[in-house]
Chain A
Amino acid sequence: AQSVTQPDIHITVSEGASLELRCNYSYGATPYLFWYVQSPGQGLQLLLKYFSGDTLVQGIKGFEAEFKRSQSSFNLRKPSVHWSDAAEYFCAVGARREYGNKLVFGAGTILRVKS
């Protein structure tokens, strides 16, 4: 069965500092991987996705993520955090057409940005 682990429940970074959010997944085949962001009181916004090919994927808002098969990881990075990045971030693995393209989500990481 698929599973996603986000080891950090909360992370606090200073504005302008770099950011890395960790994500580890368990999936039997080549995974489809996603990062979503949820601002307070808002819905989910897709930041980026990995289906195949280049293991470093670029997303919106200056985010990128790197797929490392050997480590079963898909960590999200940003070189310089802005105060508006404060939100909850979810990593998800896709079931690839099974179960209606089901996504299995991690528990989320809440990012706080201090000025």
Chain B
Amino acid sequence: EAQVTQNPRYLITVTGKKLTVTCSQNMNHEYMSWYRQDPGLGLRQIYYSMNVEVTDKGDVPEGYKVSRKEKRNFPLILESPSPNQTSLYFCASSSPGQRQETQYFGPGTRLLVL
């Protein structure tokens, strides 16, 4: 089954404690992105990757890091989380092929930073 998986699904942490949210896709997609969802703001792109070892900032990259060492994985790293990073996070993957630009979203990770 084609899917994007994220772990953990729910996370409560404290300010400053480093955490990683994993994302994995099994569709051999070149493109992967991280989004955060906040009430009244919709989803906003944090970082994206267009291939292995190719990553770039999205619209709201401050406080986040990513890596893309393997095609299927795209972890999101919060080195020193702060309360304003409390949000719902989605990983997405897609392909650059024509008419393939549909993003497949993971189930989401709900993060609370105390």
Q: Is the CB of B42 within 8 A of A90?
A: yes
A96 to B44 alpha-carbon distance, docked (Å): 16
Contact (A102, B43) CB under 8 Å given A43-B107, A96-B101: no
With both beta carbons as reference points, the residue of chain A lying nearest to B98 in the complex is identified as A51
A34 to B2 alpha-carbon distance, docked (Å): 20
Chain B residues bordering chain A, tally (CB within 8 A): 27
Contact (A43, B108) CB under 8 Å given A97-B101, A103-B103: yes
A55 to B43 alpha-carbon distance, docked (Å): 25
Does chain B have a CB within 8 A of A32? Answer: yes
Does chain A have a CB within 8 A of B25? Answer: no
With both beta carbons as reference points, the residue of chain B lying nearest to A100 in the complex is identified as B48
A108 to B107 alpha-carbon distance, docked (Å): 18
Q: Is the CB of B42 within 8 A of A102?
A: no
Enumerate chain A residues within 8 angstroms of B42, measured Cβ to Cβ. 4, 90, 92, 105-108
Enumerate chain A residues within 8 angstroms of B31, measured Cβ to Cβ. 100-101
Q: Is the CB of B41 within 8 A of A107?
A: yes
Q: Is the CB of B94 within 8 A of A100?
A: yes
Q: Is the CB of B58 within 8 A of A103?
A: no
Top 3 nearest A-B pairs by Cβ distance?
A: A100-B48, A105-B42, A100-B31
Chain B interface residues (CB < 8 Å from chain A): 31-33, 35, 40-45, 48-50, 56, 58, 90, 92, 94, 96, 99, 101-103, 105-108
Chain A interface residues (CB < 8 Å from chain B): 4, 9, 32, 34, 36, 43-44, 46, 49, 51, 90, 92, 94, 96-97, 99-108
Give 15 CB contacts A-B under 8 Å: A9-B40, A32-B101, A44-B43, A44-B90, A44-B105, A99-B45, A99-B58, A100-B31, A100-B32, A100-B48, A100-B50, A101-B31, A103-B35, A105-B42, A106-B42
